Amino acid sequence: MTRCAVRNTIRRLRFDQKELTQQALADRVGVTRQTINAIEQGKYSPSLEVAFRIAAVFGRPLEEVFQFAPDAPDR
């Protein structure tokens, strides 16, 4: 299975936002729910634009939402 070197905290941030659903986040970012799920699962690295949009939805800086971890083991 493909795993990307970009980790993220979207799941926790969604929880902190009163369990914001993947669909609601997807609608606000402008992607499909499946793409949000793939990003959360580490199966897809979003473009810089989508990464900024996701961070903006949570009102957090980009590096708090996404972290680069090239040597991290597969989850």
Q: Is 47 in the site for another protein (CB under 8 A)?
A: yes
How far, in Å, are 1, 15, 43, 57, 74 from residue 53 at the CA level?
A: 26, 18, 18, 6, 26
Q: Two tokens at 20?
A: 């914001």
Q: How many residues of this chain bind another protein (CB under 8 A)?
A: 18
Do you know the residue count of the chain?
75
- Which listed range, 12-20, 26-34, 60-68, lies at the site for another protein (CB under 8 A)? 26-34
Q: Is 1 in the site for another protein (CB under 8 A)?
A: yes
Q: Two tokens at 69?
A: 């971890």
What is the rounded distance in angstroms from the CA atom of residue 18 to the CA atom of residue 2?
30
Q: Is 46 in the site for another protein (CB under 8 A)?
A: yes
Instruction: Tell which one of 8, 14, 42, 54 touches another protein (CB under 8 A).
Output: 42
Binding residues for another protein, per CB under 8 A? 1-4, 30-35, 38, 41-44, 46-47, 50
